[in-house]
Amino acid sequence: MKADTVRGHLDGMILAVVQDEPLHGYGIAEALRAQSDGALDLPTGTLYPALRRLERLGYLRSSWSTVDGRKRRTYELTRSGQAELSARQEDWQEVSRVIGTILRTRTAT
């Protein structure tokens, strides 16, 4: 998938994958990859700055934990993040409807 296609939607996709459970960065990357059937394989240089930005905005909160002797930062959705995700989901429904209407395959007449 082209990076330009994802641009502008990454934050919403991150919020969506942490909606149900807190995840560490690698877990978020894996969830995005799995839920996109492998189409989204984000480099850490893309994912981690987005996580930090979402935390600064108050949409995510993080905490450190140790799992199997390794320290991991785990991210979870805040109340503000849930509101932002809902707004992004509504926006996406409208955008996909409009673009789908315009780009849908038309039969020749």
Q: Which residue has the higher pLDDT, 108 or 10?
A: 10
Cβ atoms of 76 and 69 within 8 Å: the answer is: no
- Specify the residue for token string 């894996």: 30
Residue 109 pLDDT > 60, yes or no? Answer: no
At 78 the pLDDT is 98
Entry pTM:
0.86
Mean pLDDT for all residues in the chain: 90
At 14 the pLDDT is 96
Residue 76 pLDDT > 90, yes or no? Answer: yes
Q: What is the C-alpha separation between 22 and 62, in angstroms, rounded? A: 9
Q: Where residue 27 falls among pLDDT bands split at 50, 70, 90?
A: very high
Helices of type H across 2-109? 3-6, 10-17, 25-35, 44-56, 79-103
Strands 70-77 and 23-24: antiparallel
Cβ atoms of 55 and 75 within 8 Å: the answer is: yes
What CATH topology corresponds to 3-103?
Arc Repressor Mutant, subunit A (1.10.10)
- Specify the residue for token string 């991991």: 72
